[in-house]
Amino acid sequence: MADDKAPAADAAAADAVAEPEIEEETLFDAPERGSADELLDAGAHDELDAMRHSTAHVMAEAVLDLYPGTQLGIGPAIADGFYYDFKLDRPLTPADLAKIEARMAASIAADHPFVRRELPPEEGRAFFEERAQPFKVEILDDLAAKAKASGSPMPPTSIYEHGPFVDLCKGPHVASTGKVGPFKLLAVSGAYWRGDQTRPALQRIYGTVWPTQEELDAYLWRRAEAKKRDHRRLGVQLDLYSFHDVSPGSAFWHPKGQLLWRTLEAAMRELQARNGYDEVSTPILVSHRVWQQSGHWDHYRDNMFILDIEGQPFSLKPMNCPESTFIYRSRLRSYRDLPLRYAEFGRLHRNELSGALSGLTRVRQFIQDDAHIYVRPDQLQDEITGLLGMIRESYGWFGLEPRYTFATRPDDAIGDPALWDRAEAYIKGALDAAGVPYRVLPKDGTFYAPKIDIYIDDALGREWQLATIQADLTMLPERFDLTYIDEEGKPQRPIAIHRAIYGSLERFIGILVEHFAGAFPLWVAPVQAVVIPIADRHVDAARELVGVLAGRGLRAEVDDSSNRMQYKIRTAQEQKVPYMVVLGDREVEAREGTLRRRGAAKDEPQVTLGWDALADRLAAESERRTVA
């Protein structure tokens, strides 16, 4: 299954990165999701977070002042900023944000100190009752219930005051509103109280705040840059893919996009072949009996597309793993057969909520570079070591630096704890042997497997999870009764490794487009070189040169339009083609071409080479699979 998770934007990314440098005072246990503790914990785990959270208070002050009667939800610090949830009578508009910003600036200029006060619990509750803040009252009631349940006394109600504004809050805060740095309100959106659809709908205002103007500007620049690089936009501009309402959540791949896809796929196939993989392909449309056996029918059915076929329920596969076992079981396996490595570029369908669909990163159908590897327990560590090597090599093709997390046995794990311990020891051994830094996420494994997740940061510093390696002890091996015959002729259970390296090809391509802003390295670029004849009389030679380049496996085109050379260069630049080869009288005469690099500076010296030398040079660079 090798499931790739799309980190749900900033929130999840923040979760993943939040490893605060801790001082005893601000040390928090991760509160339970949706708990009153979590609602109180404003995410202020260091000084910057404290400032962000304080800015949320200042914003709440402004909103309360401008729109009396507003009910306050919660207002934590998040990655890059903060938000606050409000219950208001009418929807907020961008014009409102400007007004709120102005009011905030006034509060900051007034430099109100933040004052912490503690009230006895009953008084605290009455305090927020009086101020008609039912959400705050609810948080306090929850805390009281929790205290009662655990037999501990209800702690005092801590409130923070600054100027006219008071909020229920655990803190900490900066000393005064004047310590709030340069900020900007970014967006308003909807959110439910406690993330629960059945609870009141609130309006959430997002903002960002930084210690210095330079940092704020840099952040806003990154946001603007991210928008410019948006793969949905660049995909149209570079003619790679498009989306159409006849198939929401699925891309239509244009010739250049498909070329890009095939290039990535071919590289992975080549890597897999070098590492002892076999490739398989299993049906997309499968009886529900498979999913009953795997457990998906009970746990994942809502995400599956189910069809009625002659009265029998079938489904489009959301994962490849269960079907891979049919190939494993198609004959008796010996201990000598293992490891068996089955790669599958399988097309998967998952019924994502319509509101969650987005470009290539959140789709309803996609293809994973999936594999299922069946090993003996004693082979697990070496296999994982090998996988870490493959990941490092392939990410290197794109200049990406992998980072690792190791998630261990959760409380609801199935299977023999002793086996878990062994598997975890092997994974740890492999990670240590690889000499890579990694973070342990205790109890964060899937219920059937400890796992390694691999993350990268893109060119704009955004974190993405790509690869995953899961050591499945029970789901495939036991539910599908997989065995191999050992040296003594006895049946034994193999371990199944689920892994993906790119993850979903769709998502990977979306990330690459944004990472490179569409300017792919030579080996990836769908069109690697455009040959530019200066005048019509050079077109025949240009075509001939394209033939020479194609003969060396390069993807090249001629621009034989009637435009001037300048215009052709501009077009090639806009299409982010890595190389242009200019042909004029001088070059045609000598069977040469003048090489122009994408993005070349005006005064950059250019080389003129003979056709074969040119082809050699580009082919060598392309075959190296490096970023330029």
Q: Which is nearer to RNA, 108 or 595 (CB)?
A: 595
Q: Which is nearer to RNA, 150 or 566 (CB)?
A: 566
372 in active site: yes
Partners of 375 in the β-ladder: 495
Is residue 77 within 8 A of residue 206, CB to CB? The reply is: no
Residue 494 CB, nearest approach to RNA (Å): 18
CB of 245 to RNA, least distance (A): 3
| Shortest CB 177 distance to RNA, Å | 26
DSSP per residue over 463-524, as a string? Answer: EEEEEEEEEESSHHHHHTT--EE-TTS-EEPPEEEEEEEEEEHHHHHHHHHHHTTT---TTT
153 vs 355 by CB, closer to RNA:
355
Contacting residues for 36 by C-beta, under 8 A, at least 6 apart: 139, 140, 142, 143, 146
In the bound state with RNA, the residue whose beta carbon lies nearer, of 238 and 271, is: 238
Active site residue 498: yes
Which residue, among 595, 586, 589, has the nearest Cα to 616 in the 3D structure?
Answer: 595
**Residue among 154 and 600 whose Cβ is closer to RNA:** 600
CB of 217 to RNA, least distance (A): 20
Alpha helices in 111-193 (DSSP H): 121-130, 134-150
Which residue number, 26 or 293, has a Cβ lying nearer to RNA? 293
Give least dist CB 238 to RNA, A: 12
What is the C-alpha separation between 419 and 433, in angstroms, rounded?
Answer: 21
* 3-state class (DSSP) for residue 167: strand
Whose Cβ is closer to RNA: residue 303's or residue 483's? 303
Q: Do residues 482 and 476 make contact, with C-beta atoms less than 8 angstroms apart?
A: yes
Q: Residue 338 or residue 519: which is nearer to RNA going by CB?
A: 519
Rounded to the nearest 5 degrees, what angle is found at the Cα of 322, between the Cα atoms of 319 and 323? 95
Distance between CA 118 and CA 168 in Å, rounded?
10
Q: Looking at beta carbons only, is 29 or 536 nearer to RNA?
A: 536
CB 157 within 8 Å of CB 126: no
Task: Please confirm, yes or no, whether 368 is among the known catalytic residues.
Answer: yes
3-state SS class at 93: coil
573 contact partners, CB below 8 Å, separation of at least 6: 598, 599
Q: State both tokens at 455.
A: 């993350």
Pure H helices in 252-302: 255-274, 288-294, 296-299
Active site residue 299: no
Annotated catalytic residue within 451, 499, 568, 598: 451
Nearer to RNA, 124 or 207 (CB): 207
- Residue 350 is among the residues annotated as catalytic for this protein: yes
Q: Are 598 and 573 in contact (CB under 8 A)?
A: yes
Of 179 and 256, CB closest to RNA: 256
Q: Look at residues 243, 517, 526, 246 and name the one whose alpha carbon lies nearest to residue 361.
A: 243
Q: Which is nearer to RNA, 233 or 347 (CB)?
A: 233
Q: How far is the CB of 280 from RNA (least distance, A)?
A: 20
Beta-carbon contacts of 351 under 8 Å, excluding residues fewer than 6 positions away, are 302, 303, 304, 305, 364
Burial class (CB in 10 A: 0-12, 13-18, 19+), 207: buried
The residue written with tokens 């097309």 in the block is 347
The catalytically annotated residue of 372, 409, 499, 538 is 372
Q: Which of 370, 453, 472, 559 is catalytic?
A: 370
> Known catalytic residue: 470?
no
The active-site residue out of 204, 350, 428, 598 is 350
Dist CA 196 CA 216 (whole Å): 33
Q: How far is CA 341 from CA 152, 345, 495, 496, 545, in A?
A: 54, 13, 12, 10, 42
Q: CA 520, 526, 531: angle at the middle one, nearest 5?
A: 100
Are the beta carbons of 307 and 285 closer than 8 angstroms? yes
Quote the least distance from Cβ 365 to RNA, whole Å: 12
Residue type, 487: E
Instruction: Tell me, yes or no, if 472 is annotated catalytic.
Output: no
The least CB distance from residue 126 to RNA, in Å, is: 30
Provide, rounded to whole angstroms, the least separation between the CB of residue 325 and RNA: 13
Residue 538 near residue 588 (C-beta atoms within 8 A): yes
Cα separation, 124 vs 117, whole angstroms: 10
H helical segments located in 78-212? 94-110, 121-130, 134-150
Task: Report whether 456 contacts 395 (CB < 8 A).
Answer: yes
CB of 247 to RNA, least distance (A): 8
Least distance to RNA, CB of residue 59, Å: 16
Q: 3-state DSSP call for residue 597?
A: strand
Least distance to RNA, CB of residue 65, Å: 23
Between strands 608-610 and 592-597, the pairing is antiparallel
What amino acid positions are annotated as catalytic residues? 321, 350, 368, 370, 372, 451, 498
